[in-house]
Structure 1
Amino acid sequence: MKLLIIEDEQDLREVIQQSLEMEKFLVETAIDYKSALDKIISFDYDCILLDIMLPGGNGLDLLQELKNLDKSENVIIISAKDSLDDKLKGLNLGADDYLTKPFHIAELTARVKSVLRRKSFHGKNIIEAGNVKLDPEERTLFINENPLLLNRKEFDILTYMLVNKNRLVNKTSLAEHVWGDHMDEADDYEFIYSQIKNLRKKLKDNQATVEIHAVYGIGYKLVQG
């Protein structure tokens, strides 16, 4: 996941960047209106953290530019201006959230993860495929309305595969999504194979109408029978 921080206050910008990089996000920064505009025109981001008051321009104008470019980036406004008018303008222009300074970095990180999760699940709280119904917030899984208990990794794998249903998911992407900062410690992908094997068996034993197919040498694909 690639994020862009548009913030001219150096100390705050660096603290936010370090915090998000610890969560394994790829983070870029812009310190003024012009550099921010160049980046949003040239690149795509999963989420943009946007200050309203910027050297050389206004963050709300950047929101309008994103709209003009028909881009779908999530945007969280981070601003010292606790103005209802600015908040409403930002939300009307397509911002996903608004956080007033000062704020706790942990809260900002939670907001980022929340908007990214909503995007991944297409705004739905429940993911359904065939007779499988998964709630990522409550971490519950039902097959034919019957609950099925998975371990944490099995649940995360199934969630990722359901979000990417009918798409080829390579082993590296799956490992980075599910294992995160522990991925670098692995010498091979045996830890994925064992979890996938157990997950497949549980789905089959409970007569799920989705299956996880292995694509030799590349990864996996979840298909609905």
Structure 2
Amino acid sequence: MKILLIEDEKDLAKSIQDYLKTNDFVCEWVTDFSLALEKIALYDYDCILLDLMLPRGNGFDILSHLKKLNKSDGVIIISAKQNLETRLEGFNLGADDYLVKPFHLSELLVRIQALIRRKKFDGNNIITFNEIQIDLLSKVVKVHGISIDVTKKEIDLLLFLIGNNKKVLSKEAIAEHLSGDMADMIDNHDFVYAHIKNIKKKLKNAESKSYIKTVYGLGYKWEDE
């Protein structure tokens, strides 16, 4: 899952980024308003963590910008401001959640996981697609009730494909989801093909149907036969 952290408090931001990475999130971090707008224009995120007070701008303007772009990225405001008016303004501009500083990183993680479940999987911890079952909390994938051996990247890929059921996803979009903006620094996206090949083989060996379709010249999509 891919997170954008917009926060100018460097010590706090570094601790959040490190914590999320240890919990298998790709977490990109920017420190000011203009860099945040660049990222939002270029990429899609499962969740944006948004501080309200930023150099050269504020979080409310970023929320307004997300609205103008018609983006569906989930947003959690993280702010020291805790008055009702500020909270209401954030929610009215499209924020999904509001967490007051200081907070425990474990609570932030739970809020992010809950937001992603709500936005992509109807609030469920167990994602079921016919014979395939994915436990979001334990990171276990089962086919016909039997666990299969998958990597964390493969689980993330499965969730990305299922969460975009019937949508064609380019290799670039998949690369960005799995690697964040590091994907721009990679000469090719052969690693996407490798992940796709591996997960298809593992699902086939577990006697799952073939849901991952290659759309030649465009990318891949998840679709029931």
TM-score band, normalised by shorter chain: 0.5 to 0.7
Q: Which runs of 5+ in 2 are unaligned?
A: none
Q: Secondary structure at the match of 1:209?
A: coil
> 1:149 aligns to what?
148
Q: State the AA in 1 paired with 2:147.
A: L
Rg larger for: 1
1:118-197 matches, cutoff 5 A = 118=117, 119-144=119-144, 146-152=145-151, 153-180=153-180, 183=183, 184-185=185-186, 187-189=188-190, 191-197=191-197
* 1:168, distance to aligned residue in structure 2 (A): 0.8
Q: Secondary structure at the match of 2:217?
A: coil
Task: Classify 1:113/1:201 alpha carbon distance in 2 versus 1 (closer, same or farther; 3 Å).
Answer: same
Q: State the AA in 1 paired with 2:172.
A: T
Distance 2:178 2:149 in 1: 14
Distance 2:107 2:30 in 1: 14
Q: Which runs of 5+ in 1 are unaligned?
A: 32-38
Task: Classify 1:164/1:210 alpha carbon distance in 2 versus 1 (closer, same or farther; 3 Å).
Answer: farther
> 1:215 aligns to what?
215
Distance 1:92 1:172 in 2: 32
Task: Classify 1:207/1:27 alpha carbon distance in 2 versus 1 (closer, same or farther; 3 Å).
Answer: same
> 2:50 aligns to what?
49
* 1:89, distance to aligned residue in structure 2 (A): 4.7
Task: Classify 1:81/1:219 alpha carbon distance in 2 versus 1 (closer, same or farther; 3 Å).
Answer: closer
Task: Classify 1:29/1:121 alpha carbon distance in 2 versus 1 (closer, same or farther; 3 Å).
Answer: farther
1:73-92 matches, cutoff 5 A = 74-82=74-82, 85=84, 89=88
Q: Does structure 1 retain, via aligned residues, the 8 Å contact 2:150–2:199?
A: no
Deviations 1:93-112 (A, max 9, x none): 574333223357x5697467
Q: Secondary structure at the match of 2:223?
A: strand
Task: Classify 1:170/1:116 alpha carbon distance in 2 versus 1 (closer, same or farther; 3 Å).
Answer: farther
State yes or no: 1:200 paired with 2:192: no
Number of equivalenced pairs:
207
Task: Classify 1:159/1:180 alpha carbon distance in 2 versus 1 (closer, same or farther; 3 Å).
Answer: same
Q: Secondary structure at the match of 2:176?
A: helix
Q: Does structure 1 retain, via aligned residues, the 8 Å contact 2:5–2:50?
A: yes
Q: State the AA in 2 paired with 1:117.
A: I
Distance 1:18 1:134 in 2: 29
State yes or no: 1:114 paired with 2:103: no
Q: Does structure 2 retain, via aligned residues, the 8 Å contact 1:2–1:25?
A: yes
**Overall identity of the aligned pairs, in %:** 34
Q: Does structure 2 retain, via aligned residues, the 8 Å contact 1:200–1:212?
A: yes
* 1:88, distance to aligned residue in structure 2 (A): 7.5
Distance 1:158 1:63 in 2: 29
Q: Secondary structure at the match of 1:207?
A: coil
Distance 1:30 1:112 in 2: 23
Q: Does structure 2 retain, via aligned residues, the 8 Å contact 1:74–1:95?
A: yes
Q: Secondary structure at the match of 1:141?
A: strand
Q: Does structure 2 retain, via aligned residues, the 8 Å contact 1:24–1:181?
A: no
Q: Does structure 2 retain, via aligned residues, the 8 Å contact 1:130–1:224?
A: no
